[in-house]
Structure 1
């Protein structure tokens, strides 16, 4: 009895263990923490080779994710819900990457502006827009504090831009709640709806990047053919994604698509208005 126990302990001690978490290894990667079983690179050449392999794997997964997101509406959400997740970038990472790219492009062509001469605030994304004129009385205290209208413009636009990401995340979560109200019997529950919302919002932000790179519409001009085409692409994408993820007939899907797309526009309008209102509250 004693010899058997001693032999078992000896065999366990000879098994290779993960250097990160000490779990006994049964393959090329630790099944507990995911770290590679091999030792760290001992030469510059080995380090460069390993870094290139990691980068290639990351790039291939990102390219596969973007290709699926752009070319197969709803497929990423369906794959996630069906448990096939390792081949794709995680939903939150994908959404945050799309949001970062969107705000990078926004620095090139801001979608929100404040005109110091007319005190008019304009914010627009494709056909979605909010605008209004700030009363001179509200801005009167700025002069007593030695703040010029041009300086206020810079601070205002920077403050709104700083608040927008947080409000954008809130709009994604709210859209997930709207989806939950439309599909209460969906087996994945609210989390599944949030995953759909993250994927849809990532696509929409990428589409809005394209919108920002196209020639700007003159102030006061009504939405034109380009705006209508982008809105059509977005709504068709949403409809196909809803059908692929939630199923059901095409007629109910089309009706839900119209409602959900309009509600999404409302959420984006509230997103802009909330950030603008908070910025004015802080700065004035």
Structure 2
């Protein structure tokens, strides 16, 4: 048996001009070797990925618009790709938020219901007599919540689907913790649903910027990854300082935590404005106007996608 030439590709026998074959792309690497060499390569690849990931996080959090500009300039090898970065941060962020945010909603005890009813009655009796006829009778807090979609026309839904939605809404109203858990679990899908439409809006508002749709999608991915990262940090700081607030020894950390939370939220707004200015390179006057218009449109998209995902989630529950 003849030994293959060391200068030829083992896959297609093409003469090698480097570590990779220019014809088929296979790496000139010997896979049948010592297990210690394989483990060493594994740690080397993990270390390389870590350095790239930390470099990406540093650029994402501290330098507005930097990663998006680097990506469209073709500098891809040194940073995590936008879509992979967004998926990774969204996965970690929603795991942390679900773990830290307390969504247990306990039903009021009979004593609390009685106290609420007494407070309501006292408030009604304290009103002037001429105003009492205008105050509708309040629902007894101990009665089950009545939900009806009668007379409501929901777009793209048949009457049968509306009845099904009404029945499931009643069930979730009686189990608010389950409803809150459902909303939290649907948030990643809501954000992902909104991203293409947000990039399309950026394409429209910067129509004469001569940029491709994928460039706007890159900015959308990076800014949303930054927002999720910031909100995760705010939640972590809030949870840590909240647990120390009851201790007189560590109560001073609560003040520092509040400052950190406020600074992170301020940085969130400043970051988005600077990203829009740096990436699209327009004058400050136009940038600020488009920033406020973008905020209003983003709010509409957020509410719309939230309503759609809630309806879909309830129907699938």
Residue 117 (str. 1) matches residue 107 (str. 2):
yes
In 2, Cα distance between the equivalents of 1:39 and 1:98?
35
Q: Which residue number corresponds to residue 257 of structure 1?
A: 291
When the two chains are superposed, the root-mean-square deviation of aligned CA atoms in Å is: 3.5
Conserved? CA contact 2:189–2:309, under 8 Å: no
Q: Which residue number corresponds to residue 28 of structure 1?
A: 19
Q: Describe the SS at the equivalent of 1:215.
A: helix
CA-CA distance at 1:162 after TM superposition = 4.0
User: How high is the TM-score relative to the length of structure 1?
Assistant: 0.73
In 1, Cα distance between the equivalents of 2:40 and 2:200?
45
In 1, Cα distance between the equivalents of 2:312 and 2:289?
35
Instruction: Within 5 Å, give how 1:3-22 maps onto structure 2.
Output: 15-17=7-9, 19=11
Please identify the structure whose Cα radius of gyration is greater. 2
Q: Which residue number corresponds to residue 65 of structure 1?
A: 56
CA-CA distance at 1:116 after TM superposition = 6.1
In 2, Cα distance between the equivalents of 1:203 and 1:106?
15
In 2, Cα distance between the equivalents of 1:140 and 1:191?
40
Residue 168 (str. 1) matches residue 191 (str. 2):
yes
Distance change (3 Å), C-alpha of 1:227 and 1:256: farther
Query: What CA deviation, in whole Å up to 9, does each residue of 1:154-201 have, x standing for no partner?
Result: 3x3444344332221111111101111111123331111001100010
CA-CA distance at 1:32 after TM superposition = 6.3
Query: What CA deviation, in whole Å up to 9, does each residue of 1:109-144 have, x standing for no partner?
Result: 348x584638xxxxxxxxxxxxxxx943469957x9
In 1, Cα distance between the equivalents of 2:231 and 2:84?
18
CA-CA distance at 1:244 after TM superposition = 1.6
In 2, Cα distance between the equivalents of 1:268 and 1:140?
23
Q: Describe the SS at the equivalent of 2:238.
A: coil
Residue 187 (str. 1) matches residue 210 (str. 2):
yes
Distance change (3 Å), C-alpha of 1:225 and 1:62: closer
In 2, Cα distance between the equivalents of 1:270 and 1:114?
26
CA-CA distance at 1:94 after TM superposition = 0.5
Query: What CA deviation, in whole Å up to 9, does each residue of 1:50-96 have, x standing for no partner?
Result: 11111111111111111111111101111111111111111100000
In 2, Cα distance between the equivalents of 1:64 and 1:165?
25
Conserved? CA contact 1:116–1:149, under 8 Å: no
Distance change (3 Å), C-alpha of 1:249 and 1:53: same
Say which of 276, 279, 299 aligns to 1:242.
276
Structure 1 stretch displaced more, 261-270 or 41-50 = 261-270
Unaligned 5+ segments in structure 1 are 1-12, 119-133, 219-223
More strand by share: 1
Provide the aligned length of Structure 1 versus Structure 2: 245
Q: Which residue number corresponds to residue 86 of structure 1?
A: 77
Q: Describe the SS at the equivalent of 2:84.
A: helix
Conserved? CA contact 1:18–1:25, under 8 Å: no
CA-CA distance at 1:207 after TM superposition = 0.7
CA-CA distance at 1:29 after TM superposition = 2.9
